[in-house]
Amino acid sequence: MNGTGVGGTVTMHDVAALAGVSVKTVSNVVNDYPHIRPATRDKVKRAIDTLGYRMNISARSLRKGRTGIIGLALPELSLPYFAELADSVIRAAEERGVVVLIEQTGADRQHELDVLTSERRQLTDGLIFSPLALGPDDADALKVDYPLVVLGERIFGGDWDHVTMNNVDAARAATQHLIDRGRRRIAVVGAHAGETMGSAALRLLGYQAALAANGIPFDPALVVEGGLWHRSTGAACTEQLLDAQVKVDAIFGLNDALALGALHALHARRIDVPGEIAVIGFDDIEDAAYASPTLTSISPGREEIAATAVELLLARIAGGSEPYRRVIPDFDVIERESTLV
């Protein structure tokens, strides 16, 4: 099972024997223990090279009680936003010398609860968790005894670190962006009725705030419900909106998948974007830049979210006991064709 394929497994004992030192010294060398005589260190390193020694991670994990693996639980990798997030998390983790075990919850509440107590938690030193179905009522389930960083906006105020977007302000900025370009009948696609803490609710709040700030009355007929934030949902919501004959001059997709679905539906009906209807999304996934027309979107600082989450988690794993933090990266409006005046 060893890299060089020399045959049987090479252990610290073999290295120690060849170098003429004890296993403890070998351990010290591979762990960069500072107080070692340079000559000893060289001897050991040479022995390691000649034997092609590789540390047995399982043994180390057993002894240290740490695996060097962090968990990342997210809805599904097929959703571009989460694929890009996972990419960033893996990169950030790699820089810090840990690896990432991804678990998909399918945005299913029971599955999200399961992930918190899964046998896999034995395998990871901590968890970065991006729930989509859990609500404030599930806060107790998040009271776990391992390091946890929660992504997103659904649950606040527990004993865990939290990295989130500035959903309200960002949605306000998105809406203002449309208003500044002369739009007044701005539809929202992908709302979640009854939700109070989720991204959908908060983004709707920002939308309403922007309307209010500009003296535009809020028209419930412009808000279209849509459960899962897939492209298909965005398309279906948009068709529903158009069928209802509501006057509309802009659509705010609560995420990019919804907005891309909206573009799709508008294209199918030969409705010009942005001529007749402008469209803005949220997340700034790579697709947004290559849609036709290209999609204006909110960039929520994905890289920073990932890097911060990894950093906070590793600090907890290392035993940090600072007060739990809530980090909110800056966002940007990325203007593209779909809202061009």
Which residues contact its own copies by CB under 8 A?
A: 1-3, 5, 54-59, 61-62, 65, 67-69, 76-78, 80, 83-84, 86-87, 90-91, 99-104, 117, 119-123, 144-146, 231-232, 235, 260-261, 263-264, 267-268, 286-287, 289-294
Tokens read off for 163:
């990295």
In the chain the first and final C-alpha atoms are separated, in Å, by 62
Q: Does 118 bind DNA (CB under 7 A)?
A: no
Among 6, 62, 289, 318, binds DNA (CB under 7 A): 62
Nearer to DNA, 28 or 175 (CB): 28
Q: Answer yes or no whether residue 110 interacts with DNA by CB under 7 A.
A: no
Number of C-beta neighbours around residue 209 at 10 A: 16
**Tokens linked to 74:** 């997210």
Which residue type does 212 have? A
Q: How far is the CB of 119 from its own copies (least distance, A)?
A: 7
Residue 153 to residue 257: CA distance in whole angstroms: 19
- Position 96 contacts DNA (CB under 7 A): no
Residue placing its CB nearer to DNA in the complex, 30 or 102: 30
Cβ nearer to DNA, comparing 47 with 251: 47
Torsion of CA 110, 116, 120, 126, to 10 degrees: 150
Residue 39 interface partner, choices DNA, its own copies, none, CB cut-off 5-8 Å depending on type: DNA
Distance CA 142, CA 121 (A): 13
State residue 299 phi and psi, 5-degree precision: -90, 115
Q: Which of 222, 302, 225, 297 minimizes the C-alpha distance to 260?
A: 297
Per rule CB under 7 A, is residue 55 in the interface with DNA? yes
**Footprint of DNA (CB under 7 A):** 9, 11-13, 20-25, 27-28, 30-31, 35-37, 39-41, 53-56, 59-60, 62-64
